[in-house]
Structure 1
Amino acid sequence: MSPWGEVLVGLVILAGLVGTIIQVIPGSFLVLGAVLVWAIVTGGQVAWTVFAISAVVVLIAAVVKFVVAGKYMVSKDIPSSTMWWGGAAGVVGFFVIPVVGLLIGFVAGVWVAELVRRKDGRAAWEATVVALKATGISILVELAAGLIATTAWIVGLVQT
């Protein structure tokens, strides 16, 4: 791959890492896609080994982030439907108030869902904080996977 192509792949990987943090795009899958393009163009055992490592890490993280966050939510007596309501409200919020509306909508959606369920504003807010922590856990897991895939790509880049 040409140096400009490698720079472009690096920029897409960087965008994926940023997307992992701000949760607007599927960050780790964008990183994986960039590594796949690099592996296809570069070819060879090193490139495909880097892609295989990246794919395994990203796919494991995709499962782990839901399992860990889900167990955390269940341990705090918050149903998954609360997160679905928060996610739906976040999507609406994203279009009503671009970018920051995602967070505002998510928080409002979780709070309203828990307020309806618990009929107590304070308990609803405590559940909202738990949901935000669970979201933070899933972001950290996905970011770790993206960083591992990025590190594998850099190592492969140096070796090819």
Structure 2
Amino acid sequence: MGVWQLLMAGGVMLLGLLGVLLPGVPGRLLVWAAVLWWAMHELSGAAWALLMGATAVLLIIQVIVWLLPPRRLRGVAVTRRTALYAGVGALVGFVVLPVVGAVPGFIGGIYVCERRRLGGHGQAKASTRAAMRAAGTSVLVELFGCLLVVAAWVAVVLGT
């Protein structure tokens, strides 16, 4: 597989990660489709193992999201800017402290956005708590699963 094809697969995965944060965009599906496309062109044992693992992880994530309480966004100021800060925080946390850093990074991103918007620590803390109760948990679970799949793909690509 050529460099351009790898970059295209990585770009689709990046779009999928961003899609997790935007309502109505099938982020998980984009990440899975990029892994499928890559595995169909790679045709190695590692590629097929990664595809099976990615499928299992994303299906488990789907079940977990279904089991979580429904999102209650009314009355909570969860904006696109908040989602962007949370996503960037999760990505930075995932890179700084692999795998487990995504959770504190996600929450920290929401807090930073709310602190900039509201000004005070107490108000930002309360707003972050409300945002996590409303929609943050399901988005965090979905983003974490997609980040695991992308990290595994990067590891397999760099390992071959």
The within-5 A match list for 1:20-39 is 20-39=20-39
- Judged with a 3 Å threshold, the aligned counterparts in structure 2 of structure 1 residues 20 and 12 are, in CA distance, closer, same or farther, namely same
- Judged with a 3 Å threshold, the aligned counterparts in structure 2 of structure 1 residues 60 and 31 are, in CA distance, closer, same or farther, namely same
1:113 aligned residue: none
Higher relative contact order (CA 8 A, sep 6+): 1
* Moved segments of 4+, more than 6 Å: 129-132
1:159 aligned residue: 159
Q: Provide TM-score, normalisation by structure 1.
A: 0.60
For 1:23 and 1:6, the matched residues in 2 are separated by 27
Q: CA deviation at 1:158?
A: 1.4
Q: 1:29-82 deviations in whole A, cap 9, x for unaligned?
A: 2101100100000011000111111111111001101212x2xxxxxxxxx6x8
Contact 1:53 1:152 in 2 (8 A): no
Structure label with greater radius of gyration: 1
Structure having the larger proportion of residues in helix: 1
Aligned identity (percent) is: 32
Q: 1:105-156 deviations in whole A, cap 9, x for unaligned?
A: xxxxxxxxxxxxxxxxxxxxxxxx9687242111000000100000110111
1:55 aligned residue: 55
For 2:43 and 2:138, the matched residues in 1 are separated by 32
Amino acid paired to 1:50: L
Q: Provide TM-score, normalisation by structure 2.
A: 0.60
Amino acid paired to 1:148: L
Amino acid paired to 1:66: W
Structure 2 residue ranges without an equivalent (≥5): 74-78, 84-128
For 1:59 and 1:46, the matched residues in 2 are separated by 20
Structure 1 residue ranges without an equivalent (≥5): 71-79, 87-98, 104-128
1:73 aligned residue: none
Query: Aligned residues, how many?
Result: 109
Q: CA deviation at 1:159?
A: 2.4
2:76 aligned residue: none
